[in-house]
Structure 1
Amino acid sequence: MEKAEFVVVANRLPVDHITGADGEQTWGRSPGGLVTALDPVMRNADGAWVGWVGQPDLDIEPFEFDGTHLVPVRLSAEDVELYYEGFSNDTIWPLYHDVIAAPRYSRVWWEAYQRVNRRFADAAAAVSAENAIVWVQDYQLQLVPQMLRQSRPDLTIGYFHHIPFPAYGLFSQLPWRRQVLQGLLGADVIGFQRVADAGNFARAVRRQLRYETKASGITVPNDDGTTRRALARAFPISIDASSYMQLARSEQVQARAVQIRESLGNPAYILLGVDRLDYTKGIQHRMKAYGELLDDGRIQVEDVTFVQVASPSRERVAAYIQLRDEIELAVGRINGDHDTMHHTAIRYLHQAYPREEMVALYLAADVMLVTALRDGMNLVAKEYVASRVDNRGVLVLSEFAGASDELGSAIRINPHDIGGLKDAIMRAIEMPAAEQGRRMRSLRRRVLEHTVEDWSRDFLQALDAFHGREETQ
């Protein structure tokens, strides 16, 4: 097999297994910002993508898809349970999201995480050409950079961390904190969503490993007594803004937006939440605020409808099962108290929708509620802004989402402050058209000036500075 000059390593391959009406199995491109961002890079570089196919116990040989060489990594049902559902999503995810849910520390999970990370690293090493560039993605694979550096010191290695990196007081609770830091420092460039995340990482490196950290980089010792420099900094991710704008301008999508309003009884205002069903998203907080506004009589169900799209997520993890029950109970109570024969207070949709339908929803919604308790970025906020080609609509945005660093013209809120959140919703509903236009134009300018293509280019340019360089002291 021909080796690749550019290799992406991610938990998932950029394709999904699709079963057709006739029962035939085919592959289709996965939705998502990462796939969109890297597609042109992969095509230009004739690259390879290493990842899991998304189903346990599938043995699939490497194959070509849409100009990219795909290298499947096999995970058993036990691997999925221990490495993915266990360590990745029941230890790392809650710990790195400020312990909104309690992380669990299991040595068996950690051993599985090490074992699976080694499998990904070996697959990447095998497919990489001499002096290739390898870009590792996200928290499921934090040990891969160091494993790659040990087996293939010729490689230039990047790592991007899509979720928050916690403050030292939280991170230090992880029993395997030193191993994780050393794993990440195998990379030449370690990217984060926010400046604060990069700072948290550097602080953890200083406190745990005693390495020198400066703005110019982190001094990392090599096994032979020399040192090298690793760069840790923020590279905020974005979206393919032009694709959202194109959809928002299409007659079919605009007609669908009108249909959505009609199907909801043509309320004066539609509030919208769009999230994966996850405890980090603050779905319960916005429902509580909305329910109290109805209770207080500040809004009427005939005038204001709340649509919540919550796509299924990690349905075998106990915390997510409990979260779904709690949210559905809250929806039932609010609707039971306030619904009329013709108007529903909350239209709750526990399913995923294609992009066309989401853009129609964005166009139909007067107010977008992004109330994350902690979020690396939150691309929904940017999708809403990109879709509002009419320069209308109001974005209510949590200060704890990475997007709030960039989207300064949103109404910023602390989702824990329910009173403040209620006031922000009322302010958004009552905002004059002129102020909406002023704010939305500013938001759109930021999203259009910094797209997902800019993100991947900025990261790879930083990585290029290390390519082929042997730096020792």
Structure 2
Amino acid sequence: MSTADFVVVANRLPVDRNTDGGGDGEWRRSPGGLVTALEPVMRRTEGAWVGWPGKPDLEFEPFDFDGMHLVPVALSAADVEDYYEGFSNDTIWPLYHDVIAAPRYRRNWWEAYQRVNRRFAEAAAAVAADGGTVWVQDYQLQLVPKMLRDMRPDLTIGYFHHIPFPAYGLYSQLPWRKQVLEGLLGADVIGFQRIADAGNFARAVRRQLRYETKASGIRVPAEGGGHRTALAKAFPISISTDDYIELAQRPDIQARAAEIREDLGNPKTVLLGVDRLDYTKGIRHRLKAFGELIEDGRVSVEDATLVQVASPSRERVESYVQLRDEIELTVARINGDHDTWGHSAIRYMHQAFPREEMVALYLAADIMLVTALRDGMNLVAKEYVASRIDNRGVLVLSEFAGAADELASAVRINPHDIDGMKDAIVRAIEMPAAEQGRRMRALRKRVREHDVEDWSRAFLDALASAARSNSPAHSAAGARAISTAATEAEHRA
């Protein structure tokens, strides 16, 4: 097997297998911000990407795709059920999102999580060059950094946590809390979305492992004696801003936006929610607030329509099945009570759309509602801002989304405060064009200055610094890989 100086390890490969035409199918690039952020780095460094192909019980040999070397990790149907749907998404996901839904702690899920994490670590260890760099992504693989360090102490290891990290009082519920912390501390740099998340992690380390923490550094015992320093710090992720600007400037997409408004009956105000169908997104709270506004007579269905796009998510997990039923019953009740022949209160779509259609929706929407109860970042908020090349529109943003730390000119809300959310929506509907322009220009400035290339460059710079600090004799290959990756990110910026 060929080796690579720079390796990304993620739950999924950056490609999907298209079998629509029958036969063996073909690979196509996956949508998503992480792929956009890392693909140019992978090409420049001739890096490798380790991940699951997305379907159970399928095994593929490593292959090259569009300048990247891809290393598939096979998962059985039982692995998917226990490691992914079970421990990752029915234990870690609800626990790390402030126990909005009750996490379940099952020992067989934990055993599967350990087993699958080891499989990912072994695949990365096999493909990483001597002294190379490995960047592990997200909560499905929290044990991989330490496993990798045990297998390959010559490697520089980074980890980025895309979701929130909970306060200690919640995190301490996890029966395997020490093992997860030790797994993450195998990395030289542990990145988080928010300063508060990095602080929560450091606090858990102090309480559970009694390691010394100072500023962003954590003093970790090293193999064979001595210590090394792991950096735990916020690196808020962003989007490829220029891609959204280019799409928003296309005449066909602008025409599609006008068509969407026409199809909705040309209301004065189009409100938009775009989410995965997930209990963390506050969709129920949003629908309740909008339904009450109509009931109170503060908003009329002739003048305002809410478009809710809820893309399918974890459809085999019971809590998600129940959530879909509840949301669709709520939409039906509100529409049944308030629709007219020409206008619907809520246009609901349980499906995913390509990026071009999403940008058309962003252009069509006067108000973007991001009402997350807890969110690591929420890139939809940034996508809406980037798409508003007319400097119009209003972003109503939950203070519990990571994006709220950066997008200070949004109308901020506490989604648990239904009356406050209702007042914010009315304020957004009535906001003068001049105020919209002031707010949107400030939001767009932030999103343009801090895009996804800036995120990857900042993380890789920190990783290079950590590698030098922890191992002055670190091999030339590893230093070269990080430096090249960071330089590529800078060129893209």
TM-score, normalised by the number of residues in structure 1: 0.99
In 2, the alpha carbon distance for the partners of 1:296 and 1:470 equals 62
Where does 1:71-470 land on structure 2 (aligned, <5 Å)? 71-467=71-467, 470=470
In 2, the alpha carbon distance for the partners of 1:43 and 1:469 equals 27
Percent of aligned pairs sharing the same letter: 77
What amino acid sits opposite 2:46 in the alignment?
D
* 1:156–1:468 Cα contact (<8 Å) kept: no
What amino acid sits opposite 1:37 in the alignment?
A
* 1:227–1:471 Cα contact (<8 Å) kept: no
* 1:271–1:307 Cα contact (<8 Å) kept: yes
What amino acid sits opposite 2:370 in the alignment?
V
In 1, the alpha carbon distance for the partners of 2:470 and 2:141 equals 25
In 1, the alpha carbon distance for the partners of 2:332 and 2:398 equals 25
Q: Write the deviation string for residues 195-228 of structure 1: whole angstroms up to 9, x where unpaired.
A: 0000000000000000000115100002312110
In 2, the alpha carbon distance for the partners of 1:149 and 1:179 equals 14
| 2:47 matches 1:47 | yes
What amino acid sits opposite 1:268 in the alignment?
K
> What is residue 487 of structure 2 aligned with on the other side?
none
In 2, the alpha carbon distance for the partners of 1:240 and 1:393 equals 20
Q: Write the deviation string for residues 410-439 of structure 1: whole angstroms up to 9, x where unpaired.
A: 000000000000000000000000000000
What amino acid sits opposite 1:43 in the alignment?
R
What amino acid sits opposite 1:14 in the alignment?
P
**Cα distance change, pair 22–144 in 1 and its aligned pair in 2 (3 A):** closer
In 2, the alpha carbon distance for the partners of 1:123 and 1:432 equals 56
Report the RMSD for the aligned CA atoms in angstroms.
Answer: 0.9
Q: Write the deviation string for residues 382-421 of structure 1: whole angstroms up to 9, x where unpaired.
A: 0000000000000000000000000000000000000000
**Cα distance change, pair 225–19 in 1 and its aligned pair in 2 (3 A):** same
Deviation of the 1:185 alpha carbon: 0.1
Q: Gaps (5+ residues) in structure 1?
A: none
**Could you say what secondary structure the match of 2:467 adopts?**
coil
* 1:277–1:312 Cα contact (<8 Å) kept: yes
In 2, the alpha carbon distance for the partners of 1:120 and 1:15 equals 17
Q: Write the deviation string for residues 81-131 of structure 1: whole angstroms up to 9, x where unpaired.
A: 000000000000000000000000000000000000000000000000000
In 2, the alpha carbon distance for the partners of 1:466 and 1:417 equals 43
Q: Write the deviation string for residues 286-325 of structure 1: whole angstroms up to 9, x where unpaired.
A: 0000000000000110110000000000000011000000
* 2:231–2:466 Cα contact (<8 Å) kept: no
> What is residue 8 of structure 2 aligned with on the other side?
8
**Could you say what secondary structure the match of 1:395 adopts?**
strand
Deviation of the 1:465 alpha carbon: 1.0
> What is residue 481 of structure 2 aligned with on the other side?
none
In 1, the alpha carbon distance for the partners of 2:282 and 2:469 equals 45
* 1:391–1:441 Cα contact (<8 Å) kept: yes
What amino acid sits opposite 1:257 in the alignment?
A
* 1:131–1:468 Cα contact (<8 Å) kept: no
Deviation of the 1:470 alpha carbon: 4.2
Q: Write the deviation string for residues 3-59 of structure 1: whole angstroms up to 9, x where unpaired.
A: 100000000000001124465501110000000000111011110000000000001
In 2, the alpha carbon distance for the partners of 1:414 and 1:23 equals 50
What amino acid sits opposite 1:155 in the alignment?
L
What amino acid sits opposite 1:363 in the alignment?
L
**Could you say what secondary structure the match of 1:174 adopts?**
coil
* 1:133–1:467 Cα contact (<8 Å) kept: no
In 1, the alpha carbon distance for the partners of 2:148 and 2:376 equals 26
In 1, the alpha carbon distance for the partners of 2:254 and 2:301 equals 25
In 1, the alpha carbon distance for the partners of 2:126 and 2:212 equals 33
In 1, the alpha carbon distance for the partners of 2:466 and 2:409 equals 37
Deviation of the 1:471 alpha carbon: 4.8
